[in-house]
Structure 1
Amino acid sequence: MSVCDLSIRPVSAVAWASNTSTCPGHFTLIGQTEDGASANFSRGFVKSGYFLCYSKDLSGAMVVADVQVITDKETIPHGYCYIPEYLEQKASVGKKKRVCVRIVPVGSVTTAVLDLKLTTKHKSMVQQYTCLGDMNGFVVWCLKGPFSPPAPQAKPRRVSLDIRSLSLEGPAPPQPLKPSNLPEAPPKISRRRSKLDLPAGGVCDSSVCSISAMDGVPFTLHPKFESRSSSTKVSGITLSDIRIKSVQDIENEYNYTFTVEELAAKRIRPSLSG
């Protein structure tokens, strides 16, 4: 079986509805039994009743794996839930017997509820259907069977222009430029930082403007130090002229008591020595 056929799609939800106006759009209301009687579960002179309805909409990726009819004295089985109610304001569903379902993801099972039918009590049986029990004078039947879950659709892969060029059928016609097949950026041309070659128009591009202002400036010694160096290497004699000061020498040379600032802060006029 395949879920592509609507008649053998698994049931995805079961509910109560007062009539076709309160029944959700993707649900099918069971208005009559298999023997032609009205399928209204409400008895007596009640204006608004309630009907059983089901859905085969698989957009939620859930299916009904099982349906049970239990009494109010029974505990609801583990993993089951009571079906929702889409009723009019003053309508209500009887609680002596209730319908509960087990809903599971569509990909987790291969057997589910495929259909629901109703018959009047003590009437003929429905072939290939399982009897779930009687409620308010009706007998609830369900058809369970295997189904094929919808196969996931593979997303189309984008073929680059480089792969198309490998085809043996000859070159393909040029493709329109799209964000997925834009031409590759041209390779960056490296420039020597020692040469500052600006365009003739005076407008520089991003690669030229990134050059430092010190590019192209030759490194030379100050004339003061040219006489001390007889070669390209600094001799040991030149280095001997440099005096290394100790911490005490530096403190003695740059010692400052801040006396003037202290007197100014105290607003005391300094005394003049004669």
Structure 2
Amino acid sequence: MAAAAPSPLTGVGWAAGPEAVPPGWTAITVTAEGAPAVVGKGFGHRGGGWYLCVRPAAAQPPPCPVVTDVLVLSERSPNPPGYTRAPEFPDPRTGVSRRKRLLVKLEQPSGAAAVLELQLSSKGKVLPLYTKIGEMGGFAIWCKKGPVGTRPSPDPRPLSTGMEQLSLQPPRPPPPPSRSKGRSPPESLPDPCGIYGLSAMDGVPFALHPKFEPKLSSGPAPILADLTVKSLADIEQEYNYGFVVERTAAARLPPGT
């Protein structure tokens, strides 16, 4: 199962006010310090200023281009290849700035880094983990980038035989037999009982007591000569016990009766 990467932005633009933000877009109304983020107010522009707005990937059905870079350039600088001017809502009548413009680069997601978030701050503020794009209307614009697409999850590590017996995962199937021209004895499969199938005598070498070594060296005849074969009647006669004492004691009456 693949883990989803953070959602990138699919658009960056300007809105003449919070009410002018198009559906699916979000206006950045406050700075990182918590102050109103009204760009261009008091710089000779009509209206109350502009708000930087962004569009997350969730607002558009996939596949859709994502924002891979954002630039702040002067009006006299030429547009780099692949960059377009950030749109203005509802329409670019007054413009956000007469000196600078915000450029956006949109590309199809291909696993490369994309813009995940934009922030505004005062010019003297430093935002960790963010990259400063430039300054516009008395504010510094910061962006955070990250990978897009999906990241494959790491393959599970193989379990040993002992761990498989304690795990809830099904056991691994045995490997298929090797095919060769000649015949070879089949390999013995591991005991499914694992360590619990071993006894205390497993691995102990067999050794004969020294007192039996002379009989064994002289052949099987001396050993068999010491053996006595008894019939069932002989065994019953040898171990016959009538339980006479027990029966007599049980038949006695209790004292005083």
Task: Report the Cα distance in structure 1 between the residues aligned to 2:92 and 2:73, rounded to whole angstroms.
Answer: 25
Q: Is the 8 A contact 2:18 2:51 kept in 1?
A: no
2:123 is the alignment partner of 1:121: yes
Task: Report the Cα distance in structure 2 between the residues aligned to 1:71 and 1:141, rounded to whole angstroms.
Answer: 17
**Residue of structure 2 in register with 1:222 after alignment:** none
When residues 17 and 53 of structure 1 are mapped into structure 2, their CA distance, relative to the original with a 3 A threshold, is: same
**Residue of structure 2 in register with 1:92 after alignment:** 95
Question: What is the number of equivalent residue pairs in this alignment?
Answer: 145
The sequence identity of aligned pairs, in percent, is: 33
**Residue of structure 1 in register with 2:55 after alignment:** 55
Which of 62, 69, 72 does residue 72 from structure 2 map onto?
A: 69
Task: Report the Cα distance in structure 2 between the residues aligned to 1:17 and 1:149, rounded to whole angstroms.
Answer: 32
Q: Secondary structure of the equivalent of 1:21?
A: helix
Q: Is the 8 A contact 2:27 2:53 kept in 1?
A: yes
Task: Report the Cα distance in structure 1 between the residues aligned to 2:83 and 2:146, rounded to whole angstroms.
Answer: 19
Task: Report the Cα distance in structure 1 between the residues aligned to 2:85 and 2:92, rounded to whole angstroms.
Answer: 20
Deviation per CA, 1:133-153: give whole Å up to 9, x if none.
1111100000011122599xx
* Bigger helix share: 2
Task: Report the Cα distance in structure 2 between the residues aligned to 1:51 and 1:83, rounded to whole angstroms.
Answer: 12
Q: Is the 8 A contact 1:33 1:39 kept in 2?
A: yes
**Residue of structure 2 in register with 1:39 after alignment:** 37
Q: Is the 8 A contact 1:110 1:149 kept in 2?
A: no
Does 1 or 2 have the higher relative contact order (CA < 8 Å, sep 6+)?
A: 2
Stretches of structure 2 that go unaligned for 5 or more consecutive residues are 153-257
Task: Report the Cα distance in structure 1 between the residues aligned to 2:53 and 2:124, rounded to whole angstroms.
Answer: 22
| Root mean square deviation, CA, Å | 2.3
2:38 is the alignment partner of 1:24: no
**Residue of structure 1 in register with 2:143 after alignment:** 142
Q: What is the TM-score of this pair, normalised by structure 1?
A: 0.49
When residues 89 and 102 of structure 1 are mapped into structure 2, their CA distance, relative to the original with a 3 A threshold, is: closer
Q: Secondary structure of the equivalent of 2:140?
A: strand
Q: CA deviation at 1:38?
A: 1.1
When residues 104 and 23 of structure 1 are mapped into structure 2, their CA distance, relative to the original with a 3 A threshold, is: same
Stretches of structure 1 that go unaligned for 5 or more consecutive residues are 152-274
**Residue of structure 2 in register with 1:260 after alignment:** none
